[in-house]
Amino acid sequence: MVDRLTTERRSWLMSRVRGKNTTPEIRARRCAHSMGLRFRLHRKDLPGKPDIVFPKHRLVIFVHGCFWHRHPDCPKASTPKSQTEYWEAKFAANVARDVRISKALASKGWRVGVVWECETRDSATLSDRLQHIFDVL
């Protein structure tokens, strides 16, 4: 399949993909706050600058995009049809980095939870997911 956009337009479009304060991240923060949980954002002194940090509980939560971080069995985690070698390498590097950061945080005594983008669409599902993270970890 040939890309319908020019190289310049595709580059511009991809440059608009944000790394912080994304819609799923804001939904997760709103839900955590409504549950009475207090947190810090993007602490630079922690490996990977976690999206949400609960210092009192020594817990960090990453809000991962299903496409970029390869959520298992999620339809959003599809692979583009063009330049598949490039994308497979990029996705593998993202997943490897996620594992490396989780291990680094665990070695510093932090518990790590992940909320997936698709889990943030429904507030009840998101609330259950956050509660599960706090109960299990």
3-state secondary structure 96-113: HHHHHHHHHHHHCCCEEE
How confident is the model at residue 10, as a pLDDT? 81
What gap in Å lies between CA 119 and CA 100, rounded to an integer?
Answer: 23
Distance between alpha carbon 44 and the CA centroid of its chain, in Å?
A: 16
What 3-state class would DSSP assign to 84? helix
pTM of the model: 0.86
pLDDT in tens, 80-101: 888 899 999 999 999 999 999 9
Higher per-residue confidence, 81 vs 71: 71
Structural domains of the chain ordered from first start: 20-136 (3.40.960.10)
Name the band, by pLDDT with cuts 50, 70 and 90, for residue 17.
confident
DSSP H helices, the chain, are 7-15, 23-34, 66-69, 84-107, 123-136
- AA letter at 66: C
